[in-house]
Amino acid sequence: MHNVLTPVLQYGFAGFSLLLLGLLYWMIRKLLEVLHQTAQIIADNKVTTELRARQAEEEIALLKRIHEQLLERPCFAGLEEFMEWRASNQREHR
């Protein structure tokens, strides 16, 4: 009986090994797909972050220009000195 089952067992192990290799190949392909998608998402996020940084720099420059323009107006001409005076007085009273 041992001689009869030996080829069957050998073919069974060989078939199971091929099945496991196929499963391993499929899992590695899926892993590579996920890694590719992750790399694409990271690249997209980098582009978006750089765009947002440029937008923030532009907004800061715009706010600085608006600040300077406001300080040039007669109604705001002494406002900055007043705010500094007020802040120093508040520190003294604490």
What per-residue confidence (pLDDT) applies to 1? Answer: 52
**What ranges do the domains of the chain cover?**
2-92
d(CA 62, CA 82): 24
What per-residue confidence (pLDDT) applies to 94? Answer: 64
* CB crowding 43-57: b at 16 or more within 10 Å, else e: eeeeeeeeeeeeeee
Please determine, for residue 45, whether its predicted confidence score (pLDDT) is greater than 90.
yes
What per-residue confidence (pLDDT) applies to 91? Answer: 75
What per-residue confidence (pLDDT) applies to 31? Answer: 98
Q: Residues for the chain: how many in total?
A: 94
Hey, CA dihedral for 32, 35, 40, 41, is it positive or negative? positive
Where residue 51 falls among pLDDT bands split at 50, 70, 90?
very high
d(CA 13, CA 7): 10
Please determine, for residue 63, whether its predicted confidence score (pLDDT) is greater than 60.
yes
Please determine, for residue 49, whether its predicted confidence score (pLDDT) is greater than 80.
yes
Please determine, for residue 92, whether its predicted confidence score (pLDDT) is greater than 90.
no
